[in-house]
Amino acid sequence: MNLHEYQAKRLFAEHGVPIPNGEVAHTPAEAREIAERLGGVIVKAQVHTGGRGKAGGVKLGRTPAEAEAAAAAILGMDIKGYTVGKVLLDELAPGIEQEIYLAVLIDRANRRPMIMASAAGGMDIEQVAEETPEKIIKVHIEPSLGVRSYQSTYVASRMGLPKELWRDFHKLLTGLYSCFNANDASLTEINPLVITGEGKLLAVDGKMTIDDNALFRLEKVAAMRDVAEEPDAERQAREAGINFIKLDGNIGCMVNGAGLAMTTMDVTKLFGGEPANFLDIGGGAQAEQVAAALRIILSDPNVKAVLINIFGGITRGDEVAKGIVAALGQVETEVPMVVRLAGTNAEEGMAILADAEMETAVTLSDAAQKAVKLAQGDN
């Protein structure tokens, strides 16, 4: 789960990471009020995507009137497919001497949390990593030891940070790691961490991704979920226990298992089709889940054909078939479908579907080719 910048920074602050004073506004009038209290501010779109600055989603508000105008311009703006519903107004940093990149994330390959830092902050770190990888400093954290002082010193020294700031930098980095740990983050990122005109460190941007698997023990963070940021279909899927990601094509896919679901998309594309979604109904799905999945797929007006590919193991073919029949009883649809059931109780499932007037297929290739044809309308 991704957090908004203002949510991430508030969590940072709880762990001693210095952030600017700031408040969130939902209307231009509210923005004006806040600016009257705070003075000169920067107005920032709160959406789950980066590069807001470049997209026009970060504007100066030196006066309350300017802040109001900036908020009016940003609210409702579309940034990479996300509509801006709120803005953060942060006090302006008292001058910016330098912009630094600092993050704590999980390094899968080494199975450790890792500090990633660069004196070339503010920019897209992927680009820095590509063009000048030597400018990126990486240090692993041993969970039982935490961030040791010598590690902070190493990062600070390699970045050429002024010596006077090393102690503060260690405190900040320790705080960032403790925030990462306490909230089961997979990423905590400050880009940029600035050195202000007064020579102090200040986290002016913040990004945080939380491990969904840990939300059960993170009541406060779980409540930060912004359902407005989540497309309707993805929310419905999450609530039904289905893994769903909308894509741009016209062939709806329903599959059991993540690997097979990805493969079904790949093979569809191999035969010239475009998948409309990734959908994994999970292991041991019951009829209700299958019905919910089919409803979600059919709610996408781009879908011209549906490809159902189930390899039964824990999931049973007859349960899937019952779900399909139930869903077809609930939703009117003209969309043609291809079903391929294999594995546990596949024959029983096919028997249940015999009356449903669906195309059937024996192999995945066969199913994908039929779905591609149906989507093109020449059936």
Ligand X SMILES: Nc1ncnc2c1ncn2[C@@H]1O[C@H](COP(=O)(O)OP(=O)(O)O)[C@@H](O)[C@H]1O
Residues that bind another protein (CB under 8 A): 106, 108-109, 111-113, 126, 129-130, 143-144, 181, 184, 186, 211-214, 216-217, 243, 245, 247, 255-263, 265-270, 275, 278, 280, 283-284, 311-315, 342-344, 363-365
Tokens of 191: 């880009």
372 in the Ramachandran plot: left (φ > 0), alpha (ψ -120 to 50) or beta?
alpha
User: Which one of ligand X, another protein, Mg ion, none is in contact with 52 (Cβ closer than 5 to 8 A by kind)?
Assistant: ligand X
CB-CB contact of 349 with 246 (8 Å) = no
Nearer to another protein, 144 or 223 (CB): 144
Nearer to another protein, 191 or 315 (CB): 315
Q: List Cβ neighbours of 237 (8 Å cut-off, separation of 6 or more).
A: 243, 244, 279, 292, 293, 296
Nearest to 113 by CA among 149, 156, 143: 143
**Residues 12-41 vs ligand X: string with x where CB under 6 A?**
--------x---------------------
Rule CB under 6 A: choose which of 16, 51, 162, 197 binds ligand X.
51
**Residues 77-96 vs ligand X: string with x where CB under 6 A?**
-------------x-xx--x
Nearest to 212 by CA among 200, 197, 228, 224: 224
Q: Is 101 a catalytic residue?
A: yes
Q: Is 177 a catalytic residue?
A: no
Q: Which of 91, 189, 229, 359 is catalytic?
A: 189
Q: Determine the residue type at 369.
A: Q
State how far the Cα of 90 lies from the Cα of 9, in Å rounded to an integer.
Answer: 11
DSSP 37-101: HH-SEEEEE--S-S-TTTTT-EEEESSHHHHHHHHHHHTT-EETTEEP--EEEEEPPS-EEEEEE
Q: Which of 6, 82, 101, 177 is catalytic?
A: 101
State how far the Cα of 235 lies from the Cα of 74, in Å rounded to an integer.
Answer: 25
Is 189 a residue that touches ligand X (CB under 6 A)? no
Name the minimum Å distance from CB 54 to another protein: 17
Name the minimum Å distance from CB 74 to ligand X: 12
* Residues belonging to the active site: 101, 189
Binding interface with ligand X (CB under 6 A): 20, 42, 44, 50-53, 58, 90, 92-93, 96, 99, 122, 191-192, 204-205
